[in-house]
Amino acid sequence: MNKFYETQEKPKKAFLVSIISGASGDEAACRELQGLCETLGLVIGAHEKIRVRERSPRFGMGSGKAEELSQKAKELEADLIVFDWNPNPSQQRNWEELSGLPVIDRQELIIRIFAERATTREAELQVKLAELTYFLPRLTHKYIDLSRQRGGRYGTKGSGETKLETDRRKIEKRIHLLEDEIKQVGKQRQQQRRQRERSNIPVCAIVGYTNAGKSSLLNALTGADVLAQDKLFCTLDAVTRRFEPAPGSSVLLTDTVGFIRSLPHSLIKAFHSTLEEAALASFLIHILDASDPAIDDNYKTTISVLKDLNAREIPMITLLNKIDCLPTDDESAVLEDLKNRFPDSIAVSVKNNIGLDTLKEEIVTMVQKI
């Protein structure tokens, strides 16, 4: 009798831990953590939301609470613990010794997602730099392979690369080499920008929170074939396409990497050349997911990132996307409330081609003002 063996590794089960304070953004942050884990293919075994009165240097919280959470993770038979906060390397080691499980924080989640999404040479270099910068002070961190189960990759050379690069001196040398290579790629991007500037065609950067519909908008307006999925961080590279909103009027539309709360500093640094596409644009299209309960927080996050990029004063068109996903029983009331909260915004459904004609008219008006 033939025997069949399961060759694909089962998805890892994660025990999520969020520290909440009672602020309005707590629920949004918890949903975002779950979304990050699901994007990486993790199975969420449980999500513990706690309040912390005492933050000890050893665990970032009281030792009693740390032991309680570790025990819950063991009872759940979790493969790893995921924190919504960022313990320092020493605290991470302490947690791993206490629980006997790998401990991953929000930064590592995002870096791993970026590693899976990177498709071009520039994105791969940038992700690898962020990865090594993050892991350099964490050489004793328990490594758990999350890419093999999905047939993907982690970094640019396959799973487990950081486990092999445990020699600090070699990692530092690799970081310097990556920085030099990224500078060379950046020079090529600058040459492309200068060519666009010589054409005297205005540049519009599409910005917004991750998964708001930026790539879908670029595809709908220009016929581009940029990957657009209902997942976080589908786009890591700036993609530019020419667009004619009206006869005799041209603009270059640039899709950009999505923003997210507290984007790890290492990723901001690594993706600086990509993010600065927004800072150098003639005007911006800020796209928001109208169906997201955290739309106000998402708006603030994007504005904060734009301020960091010195791009806040650039003229902006605000879009309320996914109006087709609003609750049907009180859609008009919800939409009216959103329009009051975001004055001069344009309500659209990129998926259903609703409101795009109004957007085109606004783009023409914006181009005429430049």
Instruction: Check: CB of residue 324 under 8 Å from CB of residue 290.
Output: no
Residue 330 is predicted with a pLDDT of: 77
CATH code for the domain defined by 13-104: 3.40.50.2300
Give the single-character DSSP code of 354.
Answer: B
- Pick from 181, 48, 162: nearest CA to 112: 162
* Domain 13-104 identical in fold to domain 201-369: yes
Class of domain 201-369: alpha beta
Residue extents of the structural domains in the chain: 13-104, 110-177, 201-369
Please report the DSSP string for 36-99 in residue order.
Answer: HHHHTT-EEEEEEEE--S---TTTSS-HHHHHHHHHHHHHTT-SEEEESS---HHHHHHHHHHH
DSSP secondary structure code for residue 314 in this structure? S
**Calpha distance 104→98 (Å, rounded):** 14
Give the integer Cα–Cα distance in Å for 206 and 301.
15
Q: How many CB atoms lie within 10 A of CB 274?
A: 20
What separation in angstroms does the CA of 195 have from each of 191, 199, 281? 6, 7, 14
Which residues are CB-neighbours of 175 under 8 A, at least 6 positions away? 129, 132, 133, 136
pTM tops 0.85, yes or no = no
DSSP 113-172: HHHHH--SHHHHHHHHHHHHHHHGGGTTSPP---SGGGT--SSSS-TTHHHH---HHHHH
pLDDT score at 97: 93
CA distance 193 to 199: 10
Phi, psi of 86 (to 5 degrees): -110, 90
From residue 14, alpha-carbon distances to 29, 38, 43 in Å are: 17, 10, 6
Report the C-alpha gap between 161 and 159 in whole angstroms: 6
Q: What one-letter code names the amino acid at 226?
A: V
Angle between helices 272-279 and 168-198 (to 10 degrees): 30
Each residue's pLDDT expressed in tens, for the chain with a length of 370 residues: 455 444 456 789 999 999 887 776 678 788 889 988 988 889 999 999 988 877 788 999 988 999 999 999 999 999 999 999 888 889 999 999 999 999 999 888 888 887 877 767 777 888 888 888 888 888 766 667 665 444 444 444 444 444 444 567 888 888 899 888 888 877 776 676 666 666 678 989 999 988 888 888 988 998 766 555 454 455 555 678 888 888 888 898 888 877 777 666 666 666 666 677 778 889 999 999 999 888 998 898 889 888 888 888 899 999 999 999 888 777 788 889 999 999 999 999 999 999 999 999 999 999 888 7
Distance CA 96, CA 53 (A): 22
CB atoms within 10 A of CB 287: 27
Place of tokens 């791009």: 311
Per-residue pLDDT, 331: 78
Phi-psi region of 158 (alpha: psi -120 to 50; beta: other; left: phi over 0): left
At residue 162, the pLDDT reads: 47
Nearest to residue 144, comparing CAs of 68, 81, 231, 77? 81
How many other C-beta atoms lie within 10 A of the C-beta of residue 203?
21
